[in-house]
């Protein structure tokens, strides 16, 4: 995923947190996202920044029904991704990066016991001082079918990416249409509808104008 950076493109950091046996699946998902963006003339690309280590001491358990679910607290992940984004931005000031996207192998949980999460809670975004932090849990997308799992993750990446550029949920046949369940998600197209595509392109163009 390493490639030379070009002028006229908006770049996002891409990384993952947690242990995952099939690292190639993560690279392929981000690569295919870049291919989709390129084929549709959307001037935004992911740049892989390497894996981020978060110590096992951060793991917490939350009760879900009769079980305990382990996960990294969202707050710790947000802080870690923000620090990595600042590091990358200071390393190469010619290409300021204002967004980072982290995939995590654990469910997203929170130290705030009133946070309504887990099963429906797939992705999360937070803005810190003009920097956008995006997180997506791969846990709900797990499948023994590798291609199916990759397609689910790829749709999740495009969905959160859309939110990162101001897109809202959509009721069309579109990756921005939130699923009721996994079967619903598997039926979603791996693409933005024409309306979301127009809004996304406008947001990117506005950003490029601001950079000049």
Evaluate whether residue 2 is within a structural domain: no
Evaluate whether residue 89 is within a structural domain: yes
Evaluate whether residue 95 is within a structural domain: yes
Evaluate whether residue 39 is within a structural domain: yes
- Residue 57 confidence (pLDDT): 66
Residue 160 designated active-site: yes
Structural domain containing residue 20: 10-211
Question: For the segment 41-53, what is each residue's pLDDT rounded down to a tens digit?
Answer: 999 999 999 888 8
Evaluate whether residue 4 is within a structural domain: no
Asked whether the predicted pLDDT for residue 77 surpasses 60, the reply is: yes
Percent of the chain past pLDDT 90, that is, above it, reads 52
Domain count for the chain: 1
Please say whether the dihedral angle defined by the alpha carbons of residues 20, 25, 30 and 31, taken in this order, is positive or negative: positive
Question: For the segment 108-158, what is each residue's pLDDT rounded down to a tens digit?
Answer: 766 555 444 444 446 888 899 989 999 998 888 989 999 999 999 999 999
- Residue 132 confidence (pLDDT): 94
- Residue 164 confidence (pLDDT): 93
Take residue 178 and report the two structure tokens written for it: 């939130």
Evaluate whether residue 1 is within a structural domain: no
**Residue 148 maps to which CATH number?**
3.40.390.10
Evaluate whether residue 110 is within a structural domain: yes
- Residue 114 confidence (pLDDT): 46
Q: Which helix (H) or strand (E) holds 102?
A: strand 99-104
- Residue 193 confidence (pLDDT): 97
Percent of the chain past pLDDT 70, that is, above it, reads 83
Active-site residue, selected from the candidate residues 32, 75, 160, 168: 160
* pTM of the predicted structure, to 2 decimals: 0.88
Q: Which residues have CB under 8 Å from 96's CB, separation 6+?
A: 89
Neighbours of 150 (CB within 10 A): 19
CA 88 – CA 20 distance, rounded (Å): 24
- Stretch among 34-43, 89-98, 136-145 having the lowest mean pLDDT: 89-98
């Amino acid at each position: 995923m390493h490639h030379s950076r070009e002028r006229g493109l908006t770049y996002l950091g891409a990384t993952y947190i947690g242990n995952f046996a099939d690292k190639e699946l993560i690279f392929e998902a981000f690569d295919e996202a870049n291919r989709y963006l390129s084929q549709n003339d959307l001037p935004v690309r992911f740049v892989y920044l390497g894996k981020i280590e978060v110590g096992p001491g951060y793991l917490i358990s939350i009760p879900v029904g009769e079980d305990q679910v382990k996960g990294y607290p969202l707050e710790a992940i947000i802080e870690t991704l923000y620090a990595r984004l600042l590091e990358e931005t200071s390393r190469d000031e010619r290409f300021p990066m204002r967004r980072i996207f982290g995939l995590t192998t654990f469910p997203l949980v929170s130290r705030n016991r009133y946070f309504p999460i887990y099963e429906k809670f797939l992705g999360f975004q937070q803005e810190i001082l003009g920097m956008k932090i995006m997180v997506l849990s791969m846990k709900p997308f797990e499948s023994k079918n590798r291609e199916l799992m990759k397609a689910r993750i790829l749709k999740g990446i495009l969905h959160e990416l859309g939110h990162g550029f101001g897109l809202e949920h959509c009721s069309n046949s579109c990756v921005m249409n939130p699923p009721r369940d996994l079967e619903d998600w598997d039926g979603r197209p791996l693409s933005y509808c024409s309306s979301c595509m127009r809004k996304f392109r406008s947001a990117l163009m506005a950003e490029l104008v601001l950079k000049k």
